[in-house]
Structure 1
Amino acid sequence: METLNSIECFVRTAEAGSFSEAARRLGLTSAAVGKNVAKLEAQVGVRLFHRSTRRLALTEAGQQFLGEVRGGLGAIQSAVANLASIDGEPSGTLRVSMGTTFGLAYIVPLLQEFLQRYPRITPDWHFDNRPVDLIAENFDAAIGGGIDIPQGVVARELGPAHRVLLASPDYLARYGPFDVPADLEGCDGILVRSPQTGRVRPWTLRNRDGEQAPIALRQRMTMSDPEAVCRIAEMGMGVALAGMPHALPFLESGRLMRVLPGWHVDTGMLALYFPAQRLLPAKTRAFVDFIVARFREQDFGRRFSAVSV
């Protein structure tokens, strides 16, 4: 098992390009990762990395070794995890990434029931509004909307990833009505910037008839979190564009209303995704099946749809 830990430290360091980043992904100290890699080099009698004060690079032997062990590492770790669950009870640390507001609103409330059912699983949940690389960052699963699913990853759909325009009842009374997208021209826009680029994407609206139109809002302000844009819109400061999971509590309480309710932005699907493995760890399978079942029970697929609301 010690050798397996050393191999994992080597693989994650090669992927991350540094001991410190590998340590962050593994939940270890940088010194511990470096020590494990040094142990592995001592065991095989070959230097795997060229080290300098500024950079870390694989040696030729390191590149060859990485190609040989990288594919099998996940399978071995899954087998070990399932061996620990041989009595039928999933166990182990479960690393999951999800958006901050989404996770707090929809996943955290399920935690108590999940742990009552699977007490030997230890959640290690990361709340971050960005897509993650499951393999490189060593996550068991992640939840996100409008994400291009890479090769080697499987996705289970939780609902549509629709975005809608929102405003407070007071704002609509003062500046409405808005009947077509062009009516929004000059209105103050409260928009979310991309966590990857830091910019606001030029989203396109569409309606049930398949017609498309640009969003004609004046970019008055940008925020990094969808909860923030909803709260600012609630204050009557403009028209916000937000995903349906974030908009839903505001719409159901009447604090916000749909602007141009016949129009929405379609970015694909909201999904729970995880590495494609023949032997999926029991802890991951338990989490995936539990979340999918709870979302179906609460009818989130329909409630997250901009077309059915």
Structure 2
Amino acid sequence: MDSSQRVRAILSFVQAADAGSFAAGARALGISSAAVSKNIAGLEKALGVRLMNRTTRSLKLTEEGDAFLRQARVALEALDLAADAVVSQRATPSGRVRISTSSGFGHAQLAPILPGLLQTYPGLAVELDFDDRVVDLIQDGYDLALRGGRIVDSSLVSRPVCQFSLVLVASPAYLEAFGVPATPDDLARHRLLTRRFLGGRVSPWNFIAADGSITTLNTAGAAMTMSSPEALTQMARSGAGIAEIGVHHAWQYLQSGELQLLLLDWHHPGNFEMTLQYPHRALMAPRVRVTVEYLLEAFANMEELHIPRSALLDYAV
């Protein structure tokens, strides 16, 4: 199978897989169903594997077909981007950029800088989804994702945004009413506000023991458990109890005096990273490239994302 035949066969395969039938794929390509069937059969013969199981009414990808489809989409997109790259040399970046982000980071850090992005590149349009689940960028059609934690995916490029640190906080009113904990053991007598992640896992509270080992506090009896870090922050501000939240959520309230830091010398800040991820491609669309560059620069200039631990000492009790 020569190169031109291979490209036609791959196009037939991708269109048929996306459309769900040879007939629908053929209509999209403007060729006959017989031609689509012949192209796919030739592709399977050349590869030496079956890509599809088909009946008169439907088709279903094999495991090999599913893997090949993901790579085929990347290859076809690379061809499109090669042409776009030539045009982009004399054109202003334009088009829609689809971004997936968590609710907390999306509302507080990402959304406020998007007007500046659109002002700088008026040809862009942004579609933003707030979703705490881990999405499949290629399968779900996203250009970018902002993700917290360590997510290893060889098909994605990961650019670091910031390192998250967790802190324990409470309002002055709460501490006046219930006292200031002097050690992690004292937390057993306090109202704890904890976070639950997708899947039901509750975020553990970790502390550094005198010998340098890490101990974990049992928070099963927490007064409140929430999935939203913004809600935890609000509950702590209102005096509901002691919460573990990210410094970037707490920073403005530490500065205003609405929250105070607790057990700073004992509490383990965690090891969480926020990354900007996008599909690993030989060529990047100009609309995606300028968005990546703009966002990374904007995040680098956000004070609350880069607070050194030494700066927190002024807010500890």
**What TM-score does the superposition give when structure 2 sets the normalisation length?**
0.75
- 2:302 is matched with 298
- 2:61 is matched with 58
Letter in 1 for 2:216: P
**Partners of 2:290 and 2:208 in 1: CA distance:** 37
Q: Secondary structure at the match of 2:140?
A: coil
**Partners of 2:11 and 2:256 in 1: CA distance:** 50
Q: Secondary structure at the match of 1:90?
A: coil
Give the alignment partner of residue 223 of structure 1, picking from 222, 226, 235.
226
- 2:186 is matched with 183
- 2:143 is matched with 140
Equivalent residue pairs, number: 286
Conserved in 1, the CA contact under 8 Å of 2:12 and 2:36?
A: no
Residues 163, 51 of structure 1: alpha-carbon distance in 2 compared, 3 angstrom cutoff? farther
Residues 92, 205 of structure 1: alpha-carbon distance in 2 compared, 3 angstrom cutoff? farther
- 2:200 is matched with 198
User: Is the radius of gyration larger for structure 1 or structure 2?
Assistant: 2
Conserved in 1, the CA contact under 8 Å of 2:158 and 2:276?
A: yes
Residues 166, 207 of structure 1: alpha-carbon distance in 2 compared, 3 angstrom cutoff? farther
**Partners of 1:76 and 1:179 in 2: CA distance:** 62
Give the alignment partner of residue 101 of structure 2, picking from 89, 98, 120.
98
Conserved in 2, the CA contact under 8 Å of 1:159 and 1:301?
A: yes
**Partners of 2:248 and 2:184 in 1: CA distance:** 22
**Partners of 1:9 and 1:121 in 2: CA distance:** 28
- The runs of 5 or more residues in structure 1 that have no matched partner are 14-18, 20-33
Conserved in 1, the CA contact under 8 Å of 2:232 and 2:245?
A: yes
**Partners of 1:233 and 1:273 in 2: CA distance:** 32
Q: Secondary structure at the match of 1:219?
A: coil
Deviations 1:226-252 (A, max 9, x none): 111111122211111222222223323
- Cα deviation for residue 306 of structure 1 reads 4.9
Residues 219, 152 of structure 1: alpha-carbon distance in 2 compared, 3 angstrom cutoff? same
1:45 and 2:30 matched:
no
1:171 and 2:174 matched:
yes
Letter in 2 for 1:279: L
**Partners of 1:122 and 1:285 in 2: CA distance:** 14
Q: Secondary structure at the match of 2:251?
A: helix
Deviations 1:86-128 (A, max 9, x none): 3242222101111223222212221221111111111011111
Q: Secondary structure at the match of 1:258?
A: strand
Residues 178, 163 of structure 1: alpha-carbon distance in 2 compared, 3 angstrom cutoff? same
- 1:278 is matched with 282
- Cα deviation for residue 58 of structure 1 reads 1.3
1:153 and 2:145 matched:
no
- The runs of 5 or more residues in structure 2 that have no matched partner are 1-8, 41-51, 313-317
**Partners of 2:93 and 2:225 in 1: CA distance:** 43
Percent same amino acid at aligned positions?
Answer: 31
Superposition CA RMSD, Å: 3.6
Residues 158, 207 of structure 1: alpha-carbon distance in 2 compared, 3 angstrom cutoff? farther
Residues 8, 142 of structure 1: alpha-carbon distance in 2 compared, 3 angstrom cutoff? farther
Matches within 5 A, 1:7-18: none
Conserved in 2, the CA contact under 8 Å of 1:143 and 1:271?
A: yes
- 2:215 is matched with 213
**Partners of 2:277 and 2:174 in 1: CA distance:** 38
- Cα deviation for residue 267 of structure 1 reads 2.7
Which segment drifts farther, 234-243 or 130-139? 130-139
**What TM-score does the superposition give when structure 1 sets the normalisation length?**
0.77
**Partners of 1:155 and 1:106 in 2: CA distance:** 18
Residues 248, 237 of structure 1: alpha-carbon distance in 2 compared, 3 angstrom cutoff? same
Letter in 2 for 1:116: Q
Which segment drifts farther, 110-119 or 67-76? 67-76
Matches within 5 A, 1:255-274: 255-262=258-265, 263-274=267-278
- Cα deviation for residue 147 of structure 1 reads 3.0
Conserved in 2, the CA contact under 8 Å of 1:85 and 1:91?
A: no
**Partners of 1:9 and 1:260 in 2: CA distance:** 58
